[in-house]
Each structure stands twice: as C-alpha cells, then as structure tokens.
A and B are shown apart, each in its own frame.
Chain A
Amino acid sequence: ILNVEQSPQSLHVQEGDSTNFTCSFPSSNFYALHWYRWETAKSPEALFVMTLNGDEKKKGRISATLNTKEGYSYLYIKGSQPEDSATYLCAFKTSYDKVIFGPGTSLSVIP
C-alpha cells in the first residue's frame, strides 16, 4: 500500500513568520508531485507540480522543493499572512498512473 505522509498535521504561526512543512512519499515509481492549497469552504486548488529531482518552484511568497531520491518535498511560506491560512495537500503520482493524496497540513496564521 502506497503511503503519502505530511508533517506537521497542523501549524499555528504569527503573521510575518516564515514556515515550512514536509510531504513524504515512496521514492520508487515516481512520476510527479503536486501541492494544492485548500481554503476552508472552498475546493483544493493546484499550487505546483514538480517532476524532476531537484525541482524548485516559486509563486510569490510560496516555494517548493523536490527530492525524489529520498522521497520528500518541502513547501515554504515566507512572511506568512492571514490569507495563507489553509490546508496544504500534497499528491504523489506514480509511474503507473495512480494519484495518492496526503492527509494535509493545516496552517493558521495569527494576525
């Protein structure tokens, strides 16, 4: 059974703090790693997709890195703002066309 894990489960930070969280996935049969942002009462929305070991993606204050050899990806948020409060999901796509979501990290940014 393939397992995708995310840590921490939840996080509370002060406005202006930088933060990061982790997605762990199997290092074999890798095809792609997705990050999604899921705001309360909305649907998950795609942030990044990464396919190559060493990939880094950036969108404003949010960035992500990928290590396929050891099976992890980091999501970084620089200078957190209240509007960054959301659940961040990662999803691992295998080379045999399965997509598995992690349980998410819930971020609360306190003004």
Chain B
Amino acid sequence: DADVTQTPRNRITKTGKRIMLECSQTKGHDRMYWYRQDPGLGLRLIYYSFDVKDINKGEISDGYSVSRQAQAKFSLSLESAIPNQTALYFCATSDWAGTEGTDTQYFGPGTRLTVL
C-alpha cells in the first residue's frame, strides 16, 4: 500500500463549488504539505503543517484553506472554486527529525482538479 494517499485522484467541478481534497499518510511524519503544479511553474507551496496544531500559509494560499485533523491527515479545501485553480495538486510529507532537518519530501500520487 502507498505511504501517502490522496483522494480523489481526479475531479471535475464547476465554478463556485466547494471542493475538498484529502491526504492521508502512514509514514508517521509530523510535517505535511500541499503543493500545486502548473506547467512551466514547478511545484508551488499552498499550505504546510509541522504538527497537528501548526498551520502555515505557503506562497499561494489565497483561495485555499486547510485542516490538519490528525498527524496522518491533512485536507485542502477550495471554498469557491475558480477556473485558474485548475491544476495538479500534490500532498507531501517529510520527516524533519529522521533526515537531520533536510526535509526530504514524500509525495502522494496527485489529484488532477479541473474547474469549469
């Protein structure tokens, strides 16, 4: 079984709808991240969480919110989806302590979101 899972894997929705993307991990890592990938722009950080009580905005957090329900679960919400949020979304975890602070990232399989 995959260590980092994302649901759904694909989603098509309409402008104005509320969407939640879910991420679960079995790696036991404290740190979790949400990224979006757009062609030519690499991975851009939306939100990150260093433990259950810690939530931080990334470089492109506007229009998104997150919830860290447990160490293993980190959800990303689009309160009112718009077409320019069409992208590939990745969840990732990292083990700060185990990697001496280097934060090697372990990625989920991605969620392809299309907003019409």
Closest to B42 in A: A103
Judge whether B99 is part of the interface by a CB distance below 8 angstroms. Answer: yes
Interface residues of B (CB under 8 A from A): 4, 35, 40-45, 90, 99-110
Number of interface residues of A (CB under 8 A): 22
A4: shortest Cβ distance to chain B, in Å?
8
In the bound complex, what is the Cα–Cα distance between A51 and B101 (angstroms)? 10
Q: Which residues of B contact A97 (CB under 8 A)?
A: 103
The CA-CA distance from A101 to B38 in the complex, in Å, is 13
Q: Which of A42, A46, A103 contacts B105 (CB 8 A)?
A: A46
Residue ID in chain B nearest A42 by CB atoms: B109
Taken together as a complex, chains A and B put the C-alpha atoms of A56 and B33 apart, in Å, by 28
Residue in chain B with minimal CB distance to A43: B107
Determine if B107 and A44 form an interchain contact, defined as CB atoms under 8 angstroms apart. yes
Q: Name 23 interchain pairs, CB-CB below 8 A, sorted by A.
A: A31-B101, A32-B103, A34-B102, A36-B105, A42-B109, A43-B4, A43-B90, A43-B108, A43-B109, A43-B110, A44-B43, A44-B90, A44-B105, A45-B107, A46-B106, A49-B99, A49-B102, A51-B100, A51-B102, A91-B105, A93-B103, A99-B103, A102-B42
